[in-house]
Amino acid sequence: MANVVVVGSQWGDEGKGKIVDWLSERADVVVRFQGGHNAGHTLVVDGKTYKLSLLPSGVVREGKLSIIGNGVVFDPHAFVAELGKLKALGVSITPDCLKIAENTALILSLHRELDGYREDAASNSGTKIGTTRRGIGPAYEDKVGRRAIRVMDLADLETLPSKVDRLLTHHNALRRGLGHDEVTHEAIMQELTSVADQILPYMDRVWRVLDDRRRAGERILFEGAQGTLLDIDHGTYPFVTSSNTVAGQAAAGSGVGPGAIDYVLGITKAYTTRVGEGPFPTEQTGEVGDFLGTRGREFGVVTGRKRRCGWFDAVLVRQAVAVNGIKGIALTKLDVLDGLDEIKVCTGYRLDGETIDYLPASQGAQARVEPIYETLQGWQDTTAGARSWNELPAQAVKYVRHIEELIGAPVALLSTSPERDDTILVTDPFQD
Ligand code: GDP
Ligand code: IMO
Ligand code: MG
């Protein structure tokens, strides 16, 4: 028995949704532990596509328990909308199979608006982050500022008004300062009370549920959102999201001890992408970038933005292996590289005349590093849809082996198309 954490090892969109869906067959419980509906996780099952933002990717399988942990920031209206979309696709979700932690902080319309005001103002000064404008950052600020409204507050209509007042004292001061209209107490109360009945049936004491399930010997799969380079501490600050995305957060963001985690699986794209602003040493803006973007269909699930594309950066992934304690990786989208004559891989950086093997922490240095590349021969045969190792062209196998060596972690799973079953299992993370 083992519990597995899945994390993105790059800048998000590595294919976490597909792999979590695939792995969830082997799990009993799937838990989201950070982020919110800024995530966009795509699952393709028998030709049918599901796009999930807030719900754990286990919801499409029957008989699994899905959990939204306390580390998530939870937009109740986005939640209701996502439930509706999934129901329309034939997925049945009830309070028996989905639980939301009672101590989860809420995202309100004022968070979304503040996210937008700041991004708009920053656009004029050239300092925008390129957020998803979902209110993620402002909601985490209120949580840490100890003035957030939490899921459990929806059940206590006596104390809710005073909590809303406290929140509005802060937000209206900010809004006035930024030149925007104030929000009324009545508007926020209406926003919350109108949705409470649809949320409260799912509320639970999640730490207890997880403790009971663990004691009963069930397997838990923790589903990370975003990626290591978007982590608030370990990422390309300030061009990051506002949560810890690394594996350590799985424990704090759901209410289990660190000892509950047996295996960390890093989801790793066979090249690199990033959405939004910030440094990207191996970015390719020309022909190669277009090839990867077109072949890889690199458009954001949440915002529809075009993703920036570039070569595989082994420096970043090796660093992600260290900060997450990654035991093995799921290498995704290898098929996107099919047909290239040559493939480059970044093995180090040059910074101010020196060679380094890590991403420096400072914003200035991150913008200045220049990639050092190795060039590998590509392959002309297809890997798309391969379901066993022997179906892979020899050069593709060489590429995979070389990546393992450079990042210091083995490939546990290899994904060769968006479809659930186009996946090669090397090591089962639950059996490790
Ligand atoms: P996530 O945010 O990490 O869950 O990833 P996204 O769903 O945002 O982006 C990954 C995209 O790649 C989705 O459209 C997936 O359907 C797709 N995908 C996942 N694995 C593979 C793969 O091995 N090959 C190809 N071609 N597409 C894949
Ligand atoms: P998944 O889970 C890729 C990026 C945004 C922006 C920065 C901050 O699908 O991999 P935020 O709205 O979080 O304050 O935006 O983080 N970002 C993502 N990029 N995949 C994601 O999620 C992302 N979630 C946030 O583009 O650069
Ligand atoms: Mg995504």
C-alpha distance from residue 25 to each of 29, 254, 328, 343, 385 (Å): 10, 21, 19, 34, 20
Q: pLDDT value at position 415?
A: 98
13 is catalytic: yes
Same domain flag for 243 and 96: yes
Same domain flag for 189 and 145: yes
269 is catalytic: no
92 Cα to the center of ligand 1, angstroms: 24
Tokens encoding 360: 């420096």
Read off the CATH number of the domain in which 249 is found: 3.40.440.10
Is the Cβ atom of 131 under 6 angstroms away from ligand 1? no
Q: Which of 55, 226, 268, 274 to mutate to test the pocket of ligand 2 (most atoms within 8 A of CB)?
A: 226
Look at strands 423-425 and 411-415 and give their pairing. antiparallel
Helix axes 160-177, 185-199, angle to 10 degrees: 130
Global pTM reads 0.98
154 Cα to the center of ligand 1, angstroms: 36
Read off the CATH number of the domain in which 354 is found: 3.90.170.10
Tokens encoding 98: 């989905």
The reply to whether 226 sits in an annotated binding site is yes
Q: What is the pLDDT of residues 102-111, one digit of tens each?
A: 999 999 999 9
Given 41, 64, 111, 269, which residue is catalytic?
41
Same domain flag for 282 and 410: yes
Given 37, 77, 111, 143, which residue is catalytic?
143
Per-residue pLDDT of the chain (432 residues; tens, 9 = 90+): 589 999 999 999 999 999 999 999 999 999 999 999 999 999 999 999 999 999 999 999 999 999 999 999 999 999 999 999 999 999 999 999 999 999 999 999 999 999 999 999 998 877 899 999 999 999 999 999 999 999 999 999 999 999 999 999 999 999 999 999 999 999 999 999 999 999 999 999 999 999 999 999 999 999 999 999 999 999 999 999 999 999 999 999 999 999 999 999 999 999 999 999 999 999 999 999 999 999 999 998 888 899 999 999 999 999 999 999 999 999 999 999 999 999 999 999 999 999 999 999 999 999 999 999 999 999 999 999 999 999 999 999 999 999 999 999 999 999 999 999 999 999 999 997
Q: Which ligand has an atom closest to residue 386 CA? A: 1
Q: What is the pLDDT of residues 315-335, one digit of tens each?
A: 999 999 999 999 999 999 999
Is the Cβ atom of 12 under 6 angstroms away from ligand 1? yes
Is the Cβ atom of 6 under 6 angstroms away from ligand 2? no
Q: pLDDT value at position 430?
A: 96
Is the Cβ atom of 223 under 6 angstroms away from ligand 1? no
The reply to whether 380 sits in an annotated binding site is no
Tokens encoding 324: 């997450």
The reply to whether 334 sits in an annotated binding site is yes
Residues of the domain holding 394 = 268-431
* Total number of domains in the chain: 3
Same domain flag for 186 and 221: no
| Last residue in a domain, options 171, 199, 227 | 199
Please tell me the distance from the alpha carbon of residue 152 to that of residue 164, in angstroms, as a whole number: 14
369 Cα to the center of ligand 2, angstroms: 23
